[in-house]
Amino acid sequence: MRSGVGFSLARIWAICIKEITQLRRDRLTFAMVVIIPLMQLLMFGYSINTKVRNIPIAVCDHSASSFSRQLAEDVQASQVVTISSYVDHPETLHSMVRNGEVSAGLYIPQDSERRYYAEDKEAVAQLIVDGSDTVMASALKSLGHFPFIPGGVSSFTHNPGDISVTLLYNPAQRSELNTVPGLLGLILTMTMVMFTAIAIVRERERGNMELLIATPVHTVELMLGKLIPYVFIGLIQMGIILWLGQLLFQVPVSGSWILLITSCLLFIFANLGLGLLLSTIAPNQMGAMQLFIFIFLPSILLSGFMFPYQGMPVLAQKLAELLPMTHFMRIIRGIILRDAEWSGIQADMRFLAGFFIVTLSLAILRFRQRLD
């Protein structure tokens, strides 16, 4: 072997050229080098927004006067909230908040104008807030001292009227009440997608696929046989998380256990279908792990687990709607914290069921194409 600095540099350069060529041919790794930093920059930049704006609320106006209309318009002009609907009864406000249709409800009583000018200074309106999300609840609490002045005359002798804020479901604003249900979605996504993403690839790398193909097992039977053991694993994980959440962090389940188990099953199936689809795309186990990161990273940042969904821009919200974890976050927090009913979560449940059917069908189709 030739020695000397010059020959050493030449050998190092040759190895560098080999690595660059190998990276260029490995499209998945090359995509990770380029796309992962880009994804992190865009998603962190858009999703990390503690100044939540345009939170959807409903209004029940029993005063129906120019005073109450100005109050509602001024509250919306603060840009903290946006009025999505008007209702006739305060009970409807509670129902909408409970089912997650709106994040808060503003009730303006019939005598709101009298309250404003009265000496004993009662609250002119009441804001009923879903307190399960502590960041969003803090933003809505700021409206409690909203500087409302009828007619917009700042020199008026009266002090600005207050809005009474009532926090439901988490009045103490304990962060663990919001985090533990979210962790259930995070852990199920991480394990279910990752396990199944390498399932088919591992069989192929070990040479077992040829043996399975030689048996009378059909593609659908093979796929379902791969999924079923992980369904039981997911249910065991669900039980452990809920048990420890109640034991260690005092997070009880307020809603229906039937809805809870059904939603978890749908979410497990949706993740397993996605994992199987990834396993038909990935060339090897390392590729399956790389594809998993492309799904897992946006699931953490955009689903509402870490940052309020309402604080994200519209484009990020539309992207988040494609992720199963976004829908599961709304379902599981609704059931555990707000005792949400079927009518309030059925749209998200149907999405999870449809997502599983689509991903499983695509996985079977791609698997058959690869066999051909």
Domain annotation covers residue 33 = yes
Give the residue, 102 or 4, on which the prediction is more confident.
Answer: 102
| Same domain (yes/no): 230, 317 | yes
The pLDDT value recorded for residue 159 is 54
| 154 found inside a domain | no
- Is 163 domain-assigned? no
284 with 267, same domain?
A: yes
* Residue 165 domain flag: no
Predicted confidence (pLDDT) per residue in 222-252, tens digit: 778 888 888 999 999 999 999 998 899 888 8
Query: Considering the domain boundaries, does residue 150 fall inside one?
Result: no
pLDDT interval class at 371 (50, 70, 90): low
> Is residue 142 over pLDDT 60?
yes
Looking at the domain assignment, is residue 160 inside a domain? Answer: no
Check pLDDT > 80 for residue 44. Answer: no
Q: Output the 3-class SS for the chain.
A: CCCCHHHHHHHHHHHHHHHHHHHHHCHHHHHHHHHHHHHHHHHHHHHCCCCCCCEEEEEEECCCCHHHHHHHHHHHHCCCEEEEEEECCHHHHHHHHHCCCCCEEEEECCCHHHHHHCCCCCCCEEEEEECCCHHHHHHHHHHHHCCECHHHCCCCCCCCECEEEEEECCCCCCHHHHHHHHHHHHHHHHHHHHHHHCHHHHHHHCCHHHHHHHCCCCHHHHHHHHHHHHHHHHHHHHHHHHHHHHHHHCCCCCCCHHHHHHHHHHHHHHHHHHHHHHHHHCCCHHHHHHHHHHHHHHHHHHCCCCCCHHHCCHHHHHHHCCCHHHHHHHHHHHHHHHCCCHHHHHHHHHHHHHHHHHHHHHHHHHHHHHHC
- Both 41 and 59 in one domain: the answer is no
- For residue 155, what pLDDT is reported? 46
Q: Is the pTM of this model over 0.85?
A: no
Do 28 and 84 sit in the same domain of this protein?
no
Residues 256 and 323 in one domain: yes
Please tell me the distance from the alpha carbon of residue 126 to that of residue 159, in angstroms, as a whole number: 18
Note whether 21 and 77 are same-domain residues.
no
24 and 71 together in one domain: no
Domain carrying residue 117:
55-144
- Would 216 be classed as within a structural domain? yes
Report how far residue 204's alpha carbon sits from residue 191's, in angstroms, rounded to the nearest whole number.
21
If asked whether residues 59 and 41 sit together in one domain, one would say no
Domain count, the chain: 2
Task: Tell me what pLDDT residue 329 has.
Answer: 92
Q: What pLDDT sits at residue 194?
A: 87
Percent of the chain with pLDDT over 90: 20
Q: Is the same domain home to 364 and 319?
A: yes
Summarised one tens digit per residue, pLDDT across range 270-328 is: 999 999 888 888 888 888 888 888 888 888 888 888 888 877 888 888 888 999 999 99
41 and 16 in one domain? yes
Could you tell me if 20 and 81 lie in one domain? no
The CATH number of whichever domain residue 125 belongs to comes to: 3.40.1710.10
- State whether 307 and 322 are in the same domain: yes
